[in-house]
Structure 1
Amino acid sequence: MKTITLVLILLVTILTNAQEKNQVTTTTFKASITCENCEAKIMKQLPYEKGVKDVRVDVDNKLVTVSYKSLKNTDERLNSAIKKLGFQVVTIGQPSIIAVNGNCDMCKERIEKATLQLDGVDVAIWSAKEKQLSVFYDDSMINLGMIEQAVAAVGHDAGSSIAKDEVYASLPDCCKYR
C-alpha cells in the first residue's frame, strides 16, 4: 500500500512539473513598425528567441504578439529583443476580449472608432470572423462596462450591453446581425 501511494505521489509530481514546463504566456507589444520590411525583420529574428512558440505581427496596428514558454523567457527579455532590432517598443500585455456582434468592414470601422474615442483606450481591434473586440486599455481610466456601452451606443451588442432597437435599425443592411 505504501508503495502504491509513493508511486502515485511521484506521478502527480512529474505531471505537475511537466505542465509547468509547458505553460505558454502570450504578450503583446506596441512597436514602431511601419511596413512589411519591419515585419520581415521581426519575423526573421524573434521566433528564434528562447522559448518562443509563435509570433504575429500586425503592421496596421503596430502590434507584435508573442507566445512563449514562461519558464524560458520573460516579457522584459522579449521587449529587449525587439529593441535590439531597432524598434521603439512598449509592453502592453494581454488584451481584454469582448464579444461584439457585427458582420463586415463597416462594422469593424464603427466598432473600433467608438472604442478608440474613449479616454484610456490604447488599442482596439475587432475581428469579424471571431466576433470579438480585443482591447488594450488603462483600467484606472475606464472599465469594460464603459467600453461595452460605447459600442452598444453605435448599434452593436457588446458583452452584456445590448444596442437600442432604434440605433440597430439605423445600421446599413449589411451590418444587421439580429
Structure 2
Amino acid sequence: MKTTLFSILFAFTLSFGFAQTGDKEVKIKTSAICEMCKERLERNLGLSKGVKYANLDLTDKVMTIKYNPKKTNVASIKETIVNTGYDADEAVADQKAHDKLPDCCQKTAAPHSDM
C-alpha cells in the first residue's frame, strides 16, 4: 500500500512539474545573412542561460527562440543578439561586435548563399 501510494504521488508530482514549465517563445528580426550567421547566432543563444531553443530562418531573417521566463527575458535575448554583432528588431548591432564579424556577414555585404 505504501509503495502504491508513493508511486501515485511520485507520478503526480512528475506530471505536474512537466506541465508547469511555462516556456515562452519570441520571434526577433535580425540582420543575419548566411549560414555562418545562423550558426553563430544559434550557438551564442544556445549558450545563454534560460534559452532552450534558437533557430534562425534565413529566408525572412527571423530568429525563433524558446526560453524559460524565470531565467531570462526578451531584453536579455536581444542583448545577446546585439552583442554578437547583429540587429535584433529595433536594437542596432553593437558596432565593435559587428566589425569583428567576417566581411561576408556584415550588414553591408550582399546577401549570398553558402556552397
TM-score (norm 1): 0.46
Unaligned runs of 5+ in 1: 1-90
Alignment root-mean-square deviation, CA: 1.9
Is structure 2 residue 103 aligned with structure 1 residue 173? Answer: yes
Closer, same or farther: CA 93–147 of 1 in aligned 2, 3 Å:
closer
What percent of counterpart residues are identical?
28
Aligned equivalents of 1:148 and 1:174: distance in 2?
22
TM-score (norm 2): 0.69
Q: How many residues align?
A: 88
User: Which structure dedicates a bigger proportion of its chain to strand?
Assistant: 1
Unaligned runs of 5+ in 2: 1-20, 109-115
Three-state SS of the structure 2 residue aligned to 1:158 is: coil
Cα offset, 1:95, TM superposition? 3.0
Runs of 4+ aligned structure 1 residues displaced above 6 Å come to 91-94
**1:12-63: CA deviation from partner (whole Å, max 9, x where unpaired):** xxxxxxxxxxxxxxxxxxxxxxxxxxxxxxxxxxxxxxxxxxxxxxxxxxxx
Three-state SS of the structure 2 residue aligned to 1:95 is: strand
Aligned equivalents of 2:44 and 2:37: distance in 1?
11
Asked which structure has the greater RCO (Cα within 8 Å, sep 6+), the reply is: 2
Tell me the equivalent position of 1:148: 78
Question: What is the one-letter code of the residue matched to 2:56?
Answer: W
Is structure 2 residue 46 aligned with structure 1 residue 126? Answer: no
Q: Return the index of the structure with the highest Cα Rg.
A: 1
Aligned equivalents of 2:23 and 2:46: distance in 1?
18
> In 2, are the aligned partners of 1:153 and 1:163 still within 8 Å (CA)?
yes
Tell me the equivalent position of 1:160: 90
**1:116-172: CA deviation from partner (whole Å, max 9, x where unpaired):** 111111100011111100011111111011001011111111123322222211211
